[in-house]
């Protein structure tokens, strides 16, 4: 799949943002005054900024309100609703923290659950697609939640939780890479099965593309066929594992809690997260590529 910058930025930032909001909603930490303003402000900025980034890949973003209507069937619609519900639910909590109203925290817990739900819905947009075997697996929502958890914990200054979530993320990444690399093959789909040629009827044999249906690229090829070099993958996987998992897991317990320390670790984590998300798209192979003899 084409690693569109808007979608990568959206999923990484909003994931981290909703992760932070979940922690804040749960009261971990429960800052007050200007500290609360900056904590909540960061959470909202990342979440809303990410959502805004996602609209850049829409053909007609002005119709976005319609995206709230199809919650019965569409994970994308559910994500929209969950995200707005989360942002609304947490708003009083944030205000209370900032301005010291001392309102009860129950709404915060609801908001935290909604933040996790948002992240889960985002992940399910990808995980539901049978057409993309690498994504169509439980590891996809697990990874998204773990990224939000690790990223959110770092931003929330939760060293312990951050280290544990990072270690969990590392394990999930390793699992997802391993399972994902075999996912397409596991479906046993080939050009021969996709076309039925070579397996159905009296003419059978090895099928290959003779001529493409169009010699210049189209939407499908640009959107769903992306070739990434193996060498490149190895490098980015190292960045991912070290940046998103190993480094935070090791550094968080060792680094004294300071703004600078968390900021550095957050940036390291973010680098890994961007590499991971780029690979998530770039390495995802859509079955339509079979028809073009390319994946």
Partner 1 sequence: MTSLPTHTEKKLGLAIDLDTCVGCQACVTACKGWNDQGYGAPLSDQDPYGAAPSGAFLNRVHSYEITPDQGAAVIVNFPRSCLHCEDAPCVPVCPTGASYKRVEDGIVLVNEDACIGCGLCAWACPYGAREMDGDVGVMKKCTLCVDRIYNEHLPEEDRVPACVRTCPTGARHFGDFADPDSTVSQLAKQRGGYDLMPDLGTRPTNKYLPPRRKDAPDMSAPLAPLLDIQATGFAGWLDKVLGKI
Partner 2 sequence: MNTQPRLAPNHPIGDEVRRTTCYMCACRCGINVHMKSGEVAYIEGNRDHPINKGVLCAKGASGIMQINAPSRLRAPLKRVGPRGSGAFEEISWDEALALAVSWLKPLRETAPEKLAFFTGRDQSQSFTGWWAQAFGTPNYAAHGGFCSVNMAAGGIYTIGGAFWEFGQPDWDRTKLFILFGVAEDHDSNPIKIGLGKLKARGVRVVGVNPIRTGYNAVADDWLGITPGTDGLLILSLIHCLFQAGKIDLDYLAQYTNAPLLVVEDGPEAGMILKNAESQPFVIDRRTGAPAPWDAKGVQPDLGAVYQGNRTVFQHMAQRYLAPEYAPEAVADRCGLPAARIRALAADLARVAFDEAIEIAQAWTDFRGNEHSKMVGRPVSFHAMRGISAHSNGFQTARALHLLQIVLGSVETPGGYRLKPPYPKPVDAHPTPHFTAAAGKPLAGPHLGYVRHPDQLALKPDGSPARIDKAFTWDAPFSAHGLMHMLIPNAHAGDPYRIDTLFLYMANMAWNSSMNSGEVIKMLTDRDADGGYVIPRIIYSDAYASEMVAYADLILPDTTYMERHDCISLLDRPISEPDAAGDSIRWPVVEPDRDVRPFQSVMLDLGARLGLGPMVKEDGSAKFKDYADYIQNHIRRPGVGPLIGWRGADGSQTGRGDANPNQLDRYIENGGFFQAHVPAEGAFYKPWNMAYQEWAVQTSLFESPQPYLFSIYSEPMRRFQAAASGIGPHQPPDHLRATLKRAMDPLPIWYSPYAENDFTIHALTQRPMDMYHSWGSQNAWLRQIRGRNFLYIPTKIWQQHGFKDGDYARVTSPTGQITVPAAHMAALNENTVWTWNAIGKRKGAWALDDDAPESTTGFLLNHLISELQPDQGDGIRRSNSDPVTGQAAWFDLRVKIENAGPQVAASPAFAPISRAVPRGKTRKAPK
Per CB under 8 A, residues contacting partner 2 are 72, 210, 213-216, 218
Residue 237 tokens, joined: 């996987």
How many CB atoms are located within 10 Å of the residue 98 CB? 19
Report the phi/psi class of residue 28: left, alpha or beta, with left for phi > 0 and alpha for psi in -120 to 50: beta
Supply the minimum distance, in Å, between the C-beta of residue 65 and partner 2: 17
Question: Is the Cβ–Cβ distance between 78 and 141 less than 8 Å?
Answer: no
Partner from partner 1, partner 2, none contacting 1, C-beta within 5 to 8 A by type? partner 1
Complex with partner 2: residue 65 or 210, whichever CB lies closer: 210
Supply the minimum distance, in Å, between the C-beta of residue 213 and partner 2: 7
CA distances in angstroms from 271 to 4, 166, 176, 237, 240, listed in the order given: 17, 14, 19, 11, 7
Complex with partner 2: residue 214 or 235, whichever CB lies closer: 214
Residue 80 tokens, joined: 């929209």
Supply the minimum distance, in Å, between the C-beta of residue 210 and partner 2: 6
Half-sphere exposure of 281 (CA within 13 A, CB side): 21
CA angle 203, 207, 208 (to 5 degrees): 145
Question: Is the Cβ–Cβ distance between 3 and 236 less than 8 Å?
Answer: no
Supply the minimum distance, in Å, between the C-beta of residue 49 and partner 2: 34
Partner from partner 1, partner 2, none contacting 259, C-beta within 5 to 8 A by type? none
Positions that interact with partner 1 (CB under 8 A): 1, 57-61, 63-64, 66-67, 69-70, 72-77, 80, 125, 128-132, 187, 189, 191, 193-198, 200-214, 216-220, 222-224, 286-288, 291-292
Question: Is the Cβ–Cβ distance between 129 and 183 less than 8 Å?
Answer: no
Supply the minimum distance, in Å, between the C-beta of residue 190 and partner 1: 11
Question: Is the Cβ–Cβ distance between 123 and 135 less than 8 Å?
Answer: no
Supply the minimum distance, in Å, between the C-beta of residue 214 and partner 2: 5
Complex with partner 2: residue 59 or 202, whichever CB lies closer: 202
Q: Can the peptide bond before residue 69 be classed as cis, meaning omega within 30 degrees of 0?
A: no
Partner from partner 2, partner 1, none contacting 190, C-beta within 5 to 8 A by type? none
Complex with partner 2: residue 130 or 210, whichever CB lies closer: 210
Complex with partner 1: residue 87 or 239, whichever CB lies closer: 87
């Amino acid at each position: 799949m084409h690693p569109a910058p808007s979608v990568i930025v959206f999923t990484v930032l909003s994931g981290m943002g909703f992760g932070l909001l979940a922690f804040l909603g749960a009261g971990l930490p429960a800052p007050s005054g200007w500290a609360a303003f900056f904590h909540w402000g960061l959470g909202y900025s990342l979440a809303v900024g990410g959502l805004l980034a996602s609209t850049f890949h829409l053909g007609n973003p002005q119709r976005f309100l319609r995206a709230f209507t199809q919650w019965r069937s569409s994970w994308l619609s559910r994500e929209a609703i969950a995200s707005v519900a989360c942002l609304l639910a947490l708003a009083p909590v944030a205000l209370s923290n900032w301005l010291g109203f001392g309102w009860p925290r129950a709404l915060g817990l609801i908001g935290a659950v909604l933040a996790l739900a948002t992240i889960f819905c985002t992940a399910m947009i990808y995980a539901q697609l049978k057409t993309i075997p690498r994504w169509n697996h439980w590891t996809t929502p697990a990874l998204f939640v773990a990224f939000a958890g690790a990223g959110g914990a770092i931003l929330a200054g939760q060293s312990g939780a951050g280290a544990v979530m990072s270690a969990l993320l590392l394990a999930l990444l390793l699992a997802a890479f391993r399972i994902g690399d075999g996912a397409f093959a596991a479906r046993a789909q080939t050009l021969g099965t996709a076309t039925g040629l070579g397996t159905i009827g009296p003419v059978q044999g090895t099928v290959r593309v003779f001529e493409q249906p169009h010699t210049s690229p189209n939407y499908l090829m640009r959107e769903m066929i992306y070739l990434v070099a193996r060498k490149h993958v190895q490098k980015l996987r190292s960045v991912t594992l070290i940046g998103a998992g190993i480094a935070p897991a090791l550094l968080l317990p060792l680094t004294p809690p300071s703004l600078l320390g968390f900021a550095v670790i957050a940036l390291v984590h973010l680098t890994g997260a961007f590499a991971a998300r780029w690979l998530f798209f770039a390495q995802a192979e859509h079955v339509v590529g079979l028809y073009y003899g390319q994946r």
